[in-house]
Copies of this chain bind each other. A is one copy, B any other.
């Protein structure tokens, strides 16, 4: 066996080393550092569970406290770089290589540490791509994960924030890797088994409940009339025209405004039951009014959202829930759903160039893209038609035999022409390219490539890139909705007017929308408190969103 069981022997040796600190599989939080020092080996590939929301923070603190003389040069393979400890390990030398997907709050520090050479970067992946590599060439040797509770045997209950856990555990546990779970509580019997005990080697009773970020909560009180106007255009000019039933919304006020317009403006347009029925989406609080008004048939979730658990539990016809009644989310399956089973992805970005390429990476921030590259791409493997998809395919045209024509996924960018700090959203060249040059990256960190984008929505109008027949038309269509940015001012006015006549550029008036009607009163909820009211008191917003 030994010639072919080296990994398994190494694994057994790690377990033996850890067992001396454990009672069965159970280890006290105070012994977490000692446990990690006992089981980790220099150079190990480690997934320290940092999801989009849930964080294995107790284990993150323990890893950051390890002695770099014993634990060093780890290769971190995790979707989220979210906590300070996720980067502290690179300062101390505990870790040296990184492959990740998303680093919202730590984006500036990631960029700085990359340019200082403190992190050897593999790549910035889209989630599903990183998960894919877990099974091929980035299989973790050790997974440090987070769950709500464990029983004595080590069966785990992840609760609503299942997220990446089943995927990480599957890749690790079945390839001779070690799985260490931090849990909020040890219980007699877990409410449901999210991870069976035979995939779990050690359980650490955490000193406090794992951290979860309310990442998808957008306060309606902060929504502007510009956002309402863009949402009206998207609904009338895209959702209605393509009859979009299966979709994903990215994060942002623009898409949250669309959610809040469904029961008002959407209802007025007679769209109920005809659009936005099936979702791959986190449980956005701003979707509550649409759910309560009977718009939404079902929602599969990547993760949960702080404060939404009780509401979800009482809406089992809409959400995926377990035998215990609470949400079962799953990022890998939801990303797969977003890729292959949705007809529309709509999200926001920081910069768009003249060809429609977009990125949220700037010179000083490496935020990563999460799911956008995956869901914002046209999946060439798709083989099931839908009216929406076929219509987009017809618009895209092409010269070949019509019998061979495919459909197209709708990929929409919804942006205000000037973003935060009045930074223009439209640029001649993405900052991401300068970022790549500075760091010597082989591949520029583009979020969505221009050839996958079908529409751009701004407060000035909608550009339909499917209908553009060459690069010039495409550039002018983009300039034509870029407002008073330099890119917008650089437009060929006559050509933009011709594009408008062909329906490639559409203004609010072309859509029969009066900008003065874009009023906050159209929002089905105008505050977090309204959302609580819509939910019948079931939505329990985090403290920072409460001002009453």
A binding-site residues for B, Cβ under 8 Å: 1, 4-8, 99, 122-126, 128-129, 131-133, 135-137, 139, 155, 167, 170-171, 173-176, 192-193, 196-199, 245-246, 278-280, 298, 300, 314-318, 320-323, 328, 330, 332-334, 336-337, 339-342, 355, 357, 369, 373-385, 390, 400-401, 403-404, 406-407, 433, 436-437, 442-446, 449, 451-452
Asked whether A199 lies within 8 Å of B377 as measured between CB atoms, the reply is no
Which residues from chain B contact A136 at a C-beta distance below 8 Å?
246, 278-280, 298, 300, 337, 341-342
Task: Give the copy number.
Answer: 2
Alpha-carbon distance A437/B443, docked complex (angstroms): 43
A383 interface neighbour in B125, B323, B379, B451, Cβ under 8 Å: B125
Closest to A411 in B: B380
Once A128-B340, A170-B328, A332-B336 are accepted as A-B contacts, the answer to whether A316 and B135 lie under 8 Å apart by CB is no
Alpha-carbon distance A300/B99, docked complex (angstroms): 20
Alpha-carbon distance A160/B1, docked complex (angstroms): 20
Closest to A199 in B: B323
Asked whether B316 lies within 8 Å of A5 as measured between CB atoms, the reply is yes
Asked whether B381 lies within 8 Å of A135 as measured between CB atoms, the reply is no
Asked whether B381 lies within 8 Å of A198 as measured between CB atoms, the reply is no
Shortest distance from the beta carbon of A175 to any chain B beta carbon, whole Å: 5
Shortest distance from the beta carbon of A435 to any chain B beta carbon, whole Å: 11
Alpha-carbon distance A437/B402, docked complex (angstroms): 12
Closest to A399 in B: B471
Alpha-carbon distance A288/B150, docked complex (angstroms): 40
Which residues from chain B contact A125 at a C-beta distance below 8 Å?
383-384
A-B contact pairs, 19 of them (CB 8 A): A1-B314, A129-B379, A129-B383, A132-B341, A135-B341, A136-B278, A136-B341, A137-B278, A137-B341, A167-B333, A174-B321, A176-B317, A192-B198, A199-B323, A332-B332, A332-B333, A355-B404, A377-B379, A383-B445
Chain A binding surface, main DSSP class: loop
Which residues from chain B contact A6 at a C-beta distance below 8 Å?
317
A132 interface neighbour in B5, B339, B355, B401, Cβ under 8 Å: B339
Alpha-carbon distance A401/B322, docked complex (angstroms): 49
Which residues from chain B contact A135 at a C-beta distance below 8 Å?
280, 300, 320, 333-334, 336-337, 341
Asked whether B443 lies within 8 Å of A340 as measured between CB atoms, the reply is no
Shortest distance from the beta carbon of A353 to any chain B beta carbon, whole Å: 9
Asked whether B381 lies within 8 Å of A128 as measured between CB atoms, the reply is yes
Alpha-carbon distance A87/B438, docked complex (angstroms): 60
Shortest distance from the beta carbon of A203 to any chain B beta carbon, whole Å: 16
Q: Which of A5, A6, A279, A382 has the most CB of B within 10 A?
A: A382
Alpha-carbon distance A192/B390, docked complex (angstroms): 45
Asked whether A175 lies within 8 Å of B133 as measured between CB atoms, the reply is no
Which residues from chain B contact A122 at a C-beta distance below 8 Å?
384
Asked whether B369 lies within 8 Å of A383 as measured between CB atoms, the reply is yes
Please give me the 7 A-B residue pairs with the lowest Cβ-Cβ distance, nearest first: A123-B384, A132-B340, A377-B380, A193-B196, A136-B341, A132-B341, A374-B381
Shortest distance from the beta carbon of A201 to any chain B beta carbon, whole Å: 10
Shortest distance from the beta carbon of A384 to any chain B beta carbon, whole Å: 3
Which residues from chain B contact A174 at a C-beta distance below 8 Å?
320-322, 328
Shortest distance from the beta carbon of A54 to any chain B beta carbon, whole Å: 18
Shortest distance from the beta carbon of A102 to any chain B beta carbon, whole Å: 12
Asked whether B8 lies within 8 Å of A317 as measured between CB atoms, the reply is yes
Which residues from chain B contact A451 at a C-beta distance below 8 Å?
380
Asked whether B123 lies within 8 Å of A385 as measured between CB atoms, the reply is yes
Closest to A390 in B: B442
Shortest distance from the beta carbon of A303 to any chain B beta carbon, whole Å: 14
Alpha-carbon distance A124/B384, docked complex (angstroms): 7
Asked whether B449 lies within 8 Å of A380 as measured between CB atoms, the reply is yes
Please give 16 more A-B residue pairs, beta carbons under 8 A apart, in addition to A123-B385, A131-B333, A137-B246. A4-B315, A6-B317, A8-B317, A122-B384, A128-B340, A129-B340, A129-B381, A132-B339, A135-B334, A135-B337, A173-B323, A373-B380, A377-B381, A380-B380, A380-B452, A406-B443
Which residues from chain B contact A133 at a C-beta distance below 8 Å?
337, 340-341, 384
Alpha-carbon distance A407/B442, docked complex (angstroms): 10
Asked whether A129 lies within 8 Å of B341 as measured between CB atoms, the reply is yes
Which residues from chain B contact A176 at a C-beta distance below 8 Å?
316-317, 321
Alpha-carbon distance A381/B124, docked complex (angstroms): 12
A403 interface neighbour in B167, B400, B444, Cβ under 8 Å: B444
Shortest distance from the beta carbon of A21 to any chain B beta carbon, whole Å: 21
Once A8-B317, A198-B323 are accepted as A-B contacts, the answer to whether A433 and B403 lie under 8 Å apart by CB is yes
Shortest distance from the beta carbon of A381 to any chain B beta carbon, whole Å: 4
Closest to A277 in B: B137
